Structures are given as C-alpha cells and as structure tokens.
C-alpha cells in the first residue's frame, strides 16, 4: 500500500494529459508524401480537433499537459502556441515515436535535441516526458534527470505519484497512467461514446473513493482520439461530473511533479536495478510488465 498523501483539502488529483500525436504517429507506417486520405487523422486533430478541445477546456477551467514529439511541434508551431497561450503545459515525447531502446548510444543526444526543439517552439523547456508505446531505454531515466526533467509519465505501476532515484544524487517524479483511462484503446475497439464515458465514470468513482490519482490520457487524433465533436461533448459531461465531487483537484504534470518531489516520501531506486540479472541475457524494452517478450 502506498504511503502517499495528498495536500490538505485534496481527496484525489485528476491529471488530464494529451498525447499530441499528429503526423508522427502516421509516419511510423507511411512516408511524408502519403500524409493524406487514411493517413490524415493526425492532421484532423490539429486542424479541427485541437481548437474544439481548447475551447472546451477553457469552459471547464482545466489545464492539461500536452506531450508532443519535437517533429510534430516543428510542423505545428501555431498549435503548440495555442496550447501555451491557453495556459496548458507542453511536455516531451522525444524527437519522434521511435522506441528509445532502438536509439542505443544516440538516446541522450536525441532527448536533448527534442527538449531544445520543443523549447524553441513553446518558449519553455519541457520538464516532463512520456515514452512512446510505454517503452523506455535502460538509461532513459538517468538521461532525463541529467537534462533537467522533473518527471516521467510512462509507467503503470501505482495508484499514486512517487519518486525514483536514477542515481544516488538524482530524483525524478513518476506520474503513473492506467490503460483503462486511455481513450485510444477504447475508441480503437469501437466502443460508443456513452459506453466509454460509463467505463470512465466507474473508474473515476473507484479511484476517488480510494484517494488515488486519476490519470486521463487523451489523444488529439481524429480516429482514436477525443477531439471529434461527439466525443468532446461526452468528455465535457464527464469532466463536469468529476469536478462536482468533493476534494477533486485538476493538476498538470508539472504541478504533480513538484508536489511529489517536495514530499517526504523516500525515493525508489531505478527499476533497472531490480532486473540486472535478467537484462544480462534479455534486451531491455521498458514495457515488460505490459507485453512480455
């Protein structure tokens, strides 16, 4: 059982994050010259979905954390600035959605370049990171701490934020997510909007009752994301319901990370340390708890 405690007056925190997956997602399976037709759902999210989402969040007075690749930020600087001007946090997903483990010796330089490119567009260096596909490299947490990041939000191993120490002198907050509150999974399964919101309401009620973190992960895309008109309407009703409950506080990743790092809870060692024997014969993928090799 986690020893984590929320600040006075807070029963649970709701962490709404947006995976800003535009063309970077489509380019995993196609090329630049084919970003149209069935490969245009990423463009839909930027052109039509994002303005709708920003307006809804403004009505609800909720700030979110948008995790973007540097490549998408470079393609869509106006969209990133729209989010910034509306008071939302911009965090990093690296240069693109390539698995970090595949970068080998180039991982640190790639994370650094992505951080700096996102900073050029947004005006602020990101302090949060989320690994594509839930995967990290063996040295990712150490690299993030060295590069000035305050938190990662890739793992799914707790109901509360916690602190990781990649080395004895480094500390990172981990903001765990949960698959059942990720829109891309339920919408890719073709669930109706009403069914998705019923599932999410039940998840929220249980987490609220247990004083847990509520990590809602949205996607910008027009296919498996939440920015179509009907999905935005359903999402707004859910957020209003959540906001009506006692002790709920909506927090960005940056707010959660600073609160977590300021807590007296001891830091956990890098999970890599617990698996060195296995890793001596097995490649590290960062997602072993989700998809066994």
DSSP annotation of 45: I
Higher pLDDT among residues 271 and 66, named by residue: 66
Task: Assess if residue 45 is contained within a domain.
Answer: yes
Question: Per mean pLDDT, which of 2-11, 29-38, 129-138 is the most reliable?
Answer: 129-138
pLDDT of residue 288: 44
Give the number of domains in the chain. Answer: 1
Answer yes or no: are the C-beta atoms of 201 and 237 closer than 8 Å: no
DSSP annotation of 33: G
**249: number of Cβ within 10 Å:** 15
Task: Assess if residue 254 is contained within a domain.
Answer: yes
Q: Rounded CA gap, 3 and 213, in Å?
A: 13
The pLDDT of 113-140, averaged and rounded, is 94
Give yes or no for residue 99 having a pLDDT over 80.
no
Give yes or no for residue 96 having a pLDDT over 80.
yes
pLDDT of residue 39: 56
Q: Rounded CA gap, 248 and 232, in Å?
A: 21
Task: Assess if residue 197 is contained within a domain.
Answer: yes
What is the domain range of residue 78? 12-279
Give yes or no for residue 155 having a pLDDT over 90.
yes
pLDDT of residue 289: 42
Task: Assess if residue 287 is contained within a domain.
Answer: no
pLDDT of residue 186: 87
Give yes or no for residue 103 having a pLDDT over 60.
yes
Task: Assess if residue 148 is contained within a domain.
Answer: yes
pLDDT of residue 44: 86
| CATH code for the domain in which residue 117 is found | 3.20.20.370
pLDDT tens digits, one per residue of 54-75:
999 999 999 999 999 999 999 9
Task: Assess if residue 293 is contained within a domain.
Answer: no
pLDDT tens digits, one per residue of 188-206:
788 888 888 999 999 999 9
Task: Assess if residue 259 is contained within a domain.
Answer: yes
Task: Assess if residue 2 is contained within a domain.
Answer: no
Q: Please state the pTM of the whole predicted model.
A: 0.90
Give yes or no for residue 52 having a pLDDT over 50.
yes
């Amino acid at each position: 059982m986690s020893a984590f405690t929320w600040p006075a007056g807070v029963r649970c925190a709701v962490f709404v994050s947006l995976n800003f997956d535009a063309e970077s997602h489509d380019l995993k399976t196609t090329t630049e010259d084919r970003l149209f037709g069935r490969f245009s759902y990423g463009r839909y999210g930027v052109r039509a979905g994002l303005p709708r989402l920003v307006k809804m969040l403004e009505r609800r007075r909720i700030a979110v954390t948008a995790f973007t690749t540097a490549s998408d930020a470079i393609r869509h600087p106006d969209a990133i600035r729209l989010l910034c001007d509306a008071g939302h946090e911009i965090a990093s997903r690296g240069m693109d959605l390539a698995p970090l483990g595949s970068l080998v010796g180039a991982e640190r330089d790639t994370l650094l370049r992505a951080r700096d490119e996102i900073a050029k567009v947004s005006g602020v260096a990101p302090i949060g990171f989320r690994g594509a596909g839930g995967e990290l490299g063996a040295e990712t947490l150490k690299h993030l701490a060295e590069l000035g990041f305050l938190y990662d939000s890739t793992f799914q191993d707790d109901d509360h934020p916690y602190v990781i120490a990649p080395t004895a002198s480094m500390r990172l907050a981990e903001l765990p997510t949960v698959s059942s509150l990720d829109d891309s999974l339920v919408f890719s399964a073709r669930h109706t909007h009403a069914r998705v919101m019923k599932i999410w309401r039940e998840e929220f009620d249980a987490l609220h009752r247990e004083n847990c973190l509520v990590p809602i992960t949205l996607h910008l895309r027009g296919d498996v994301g939440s920015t179509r008109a009907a999905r935005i309407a359903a999402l707004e009703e859910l957020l209003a319901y959540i906001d009506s409950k006692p002790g709920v506080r909506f927090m960005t990743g940056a707010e959660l990370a600073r609160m977590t790092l300021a807590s007296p809870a001891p830091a956990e060692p890098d999970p890599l340390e617990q698996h060195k024997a296995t890793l001596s014969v097995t490649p590290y993928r960062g997602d072993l708890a989700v998809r066994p090799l």
